[in-house]
Amino acid sequence: MKHSTKWIVLVAVGAIGLTAGLSVSQEPDIEQIMQRKLDHAHSILEALIMEDYETLEDSAAALQKLSEDAGWFVLQTPEYTQRSAAFRHAVKEIEASAKERSLEGATLGYVDMTLKCVQCHELLRGRQMAGEYDAPLGQGAQLPLLSR
């Protein structure tokens, strides 16, 4: 009985250690998220130019998924939530248009997505300058790609 108790304790300690390790390593890094967003946006632009509907769908879906990541939500305000929703809506338009093989619709979605992105970064830059914005996840770091 003592031998099995030791194994249970070892397994429990190991599981706690793994869980703690995962939560630290899975903590969203806003710089990585923003870089991935740029990568997906670049992929979407390239797919538009090449009229590559499969890549358009895949990149829009990946960007949609990224925008639902917990690390995306750097502010917990109604305005930021609304802007993020508008961004996601534009990304959905790209994906839907790609499925319909509508280059014009996907292009308009891309323009709308870009506009929403720039407007949101403008909001965050203003909040940072005013000292109203606390860095994400208490790390003390400024958001990347927001400085002028």
pLDDT of 118 over the 50 cut: yes
Number of separate domains in the chain? 1
**Is 7 inside a domain boundary?**
no
The residue with greater pLDDT, 134 or 36, is: 36
Q: CATH number, domain at 45? A: 1.20.120.10
Residue 23 counted as domain residue: no
pLDDT: is 99 or 70 the higher one?
99
Tokens for 144? Answer: 């990347």
Instruction: Determine, yes or no, domain membership for 95.
Output: yes
**Per-residue confidence at 86, pLDDT binned at 50, 70, 90?**
very high
Task: Please state, in angstroms and rounded to a whole number, the distance separating the CA atoms of residues 122 and 30.
Answer: 16
- Band the pLDDT of 101: cuts 50, 70, 90: very high
How confident is the model over 4-51, as pLDDT tens digits? 544 343 334 343 333 333 334 444 577 888 899 999 999 999 999 999
Q: Is 6 among the domain residues?
A: no
User: The domain containing residue 48 runs over which residues?
Assistant: 29-138
Cα(60)–Cα(139) distance, integer angstroms: 29
Q: Which residue has the tokens 């109604």?
A: 78
Residue 61 near residue 116 (C-beta atoms within 8 A): no
Answer yes or no: is 18 within a domain.
no
Indicate whether 45 belongs to any domain: yes
On whether residue 70 sits in a domain, the answer given is: yes
| 77 DSSP 8-state letter | S
Examine residue 143 and state whether it is found in any structural domain, yes or no: no
